[in-house]
Chain A
Amino acid sequence: MLKWLKSPATETQVSHGQRLWLYALAIVIMTLLVIPTLIVIPMSFSDSQYLEFPPEVWSTRWYDNYFGSHEWMQATRTSFQAAFLTMLVATPTGVLAAYGLHASSIRFVRAAFVLMITPMMVPLVLVAIGAFYTYVQLGILYTVTGLVMAHTVLALPLVVIVTGAALKSFDMAQEEAARSLGAPRWKAFLTVTLPQIRFAVVTSALLSFLTSFDEVVVAMFISGGDNPTLTRNMFNSLRDQIDPTIASISTIMILVTTGMMVLAQIFGQKKTPK
């Protein structure tokens, strides 16, 4: 231990002992990053209205509350539906766009790329009220279709950036080789290019799902009626009081997110069998 403290930690020969403050600070920061989210999980099993930690009496009453509520179940269904459909729409359109912009070299490519990533820069509130007004005109306010359209727009920049980055490191000469051997362009893309960028495509799909599933501000405006999202209902009940039922829903949402992360890891590992 003493030897470790005196051994150099950096290229400039600062020893571990001299850097203990940095290690302590880093551990405190990492704890503060993770704990606030994770602590909700045991708290959601508390019997108390005030969500004790550690719970004095354990119970699943907040889960019963959640699963027994028609409103919450309906909202959960809408959220999953919208997230799944957003994933199905945003991934192919985004991948197609990323591929088209990557392969084409006309002079509008740069402008088109900027247009593609603007949804990331525009404040969400503006997207929300703009979509709200448009949807009233189009008569698709409070529909899943409208929700999926708006969430697709929010997910597209991520898909285009992630897939675009993968295409940059892909050697297009491989696709040209396939085409010179007689494969049509679409077939060359599907059999040569796509398998090699599939990790990026899977990541894009998961990101699209989560973008929609976690989105609050836009959903607040354009979801409602028979199709409110989970986040919209959660936000509304947060504004009034601290409803412990939210803790149980939060736990479920954390599990969904973690599941997605694990999925991404599994697909990522398959890509590099070495």
Chain B
Amino acid sequence: MAAVETSRMNEAGLRKDGALERLKLFGLASPAMLIILVVLAIPVGWLFYVSFVGADGQFSLENYARMLDSKAYYRIFITTFQVSILTTLLCILIGYPLAYFMAQLPPKLANLCMITVLLPFWTSLLVRTYAWLVLLQKRGLVNEWAISAGLWDEPIKIVHNMNGTLIGMVHIMLPFLILPVYGSMKAIDRDFMKAASNLGATPKRAFWTVFFPLTTPGLFAGALMVFILCLGFYVTPAVLGGGKVIMVSMKIVSNIELFVNWGAASALGVVLLVMTFAILWVASRFLKLESITAGGH
């Protein structure tokens, strides 16, 4: 009887120790969480609050109402989506074939080609944006070469507009698409393709019915990443857009730098944040489903 009691006491003690241990381990994450709380979570919470305060200091929805009324805001949101969607589509069109090409190379050659993706990925995006500005300007290399090649007669404006912005954005976003797509391609068992071929599928059919569906989780993840990053992008459109491509993040900055209107800036920020997280949330349910089905086959 006494022995049973003791062992029960020990058991309870061990359980308590275990719980304490887990809590202590969890505590190791507290410095990281604390700094995120101070620098990110609390300030964003404050912005959320400010977005609901009107010019008179009272609770008001005027900051949000302005967005609905004003044509300028409407245009900014349209531009933001336009740039994001076009950049994502172009990245898919350019990135998928390159990933496909690399995934079939022998490992050594593939690694060499991978450097061409990783080098820009690691290089400062400001440096890359600057490089495009230099290349695309009126007296830049692209104009010079195109004229000497007879493509057009006099320097044309390629930068400080939508085209320039898209060129820069696609260049910066491409690695974010290529890396996950390449990963999902490398994970495919190539015998599937042999089997499809053996069963009489044409190469085209084997690609579209076997290979491509298996790469969709990677493609989806990459495209999602690109789209989300584009939505909140600032540097490249600010430099290459030349004031003609105004995205949400740029309006937020000018609201603060030029007009010192925290209410308007915060409301825009809240909308941007909610949009981003809503897309992520919807996608995360979809993505999980996708990867489960892909893993099951």
Which residues of A are interface residues toward B (Cβ below 8 A)?
9-14, 22-23, 25-26, 29-30, 32-34, 36-37, 39-40, 43, 50-51, 53, 93-94, 96-97, 99-101, 103-106, 108-109, 112, 115-116, 118-119, 121-127, 129-134, 149-150, 152-153, 156, 160, 210, 213-214, 216-217, 231, 234-235, 238-239, 242, 246-247, 250, 253-254, 257-258, 260-261
Q: Are B131 and A37 in contact (CB under 8 A)?
A: yes
When the two chains form their complex, are residues A37 and B119 in contact, meaning their CB atoms are under 8 A apart?
A: yes
A226: min CB distance to chain B, Å? 20
B252 interface residue per 8 A CB criterion: yes
Interface of A is mostly: helix
Which residue of B22, B122, B123 contacts A104 across the interface (Cβ within 8 Å)? B22
A-B contact count (CB 8 A): 249
Interchain residue pairs with CB less than 8 A apart (12): A14-B203, A26-B101, A26-B113, A33-B174, A53-B141, A99-B25, A122-B273, A125-B234, A126-B252, A156-B32, A216-B125, A239-B239
Residues of A within 8 A of B231 (CB): 123
Among the listed stretches B33-41, B61-69, B70-78, which one makes contact with chain A, having 4 or more residues with CB under 8 Å of it? B33-41
Cβ of B220 within 8 Å of any chain A Cβ, yes or no, is: no
A59–B97 Cα gap in the complex (Å)?
41
Interface secondary structure of B, over-half rule? helix
Asked whether B234 lies within 8 Å of A217 as measured between CB atoms, the reply is yes
Interchain CB contact under 8 A, A210 and B27: no
Q: With the chains together, A9 CA to B202 CA distance in Å?
A: 15
Number of interface residues of B (CB under 8 A): 85
Known contacts A97-B31, A129-B252, A134-B42: A33-B234 contact under CB 8 Å: no
Pick the contact of A131: B22, B31, B39 (CB < 8 A): B39
Query: Could you say which residues of chain A place their CB within 8 Å of the CB of B207?
Result: 12
A246 engages B101 (CB within 8 Å): no
Q: Contact between A99 and B28 (Cβ–Cβ < 8 Å)?
A: yes
Interchain CB contact under 8 A, B35 and A34: no
6 nearest interchain CB pairs? A123-B232, A130-B43, A100-B28, A104-B25, A11-B193, A97-B32
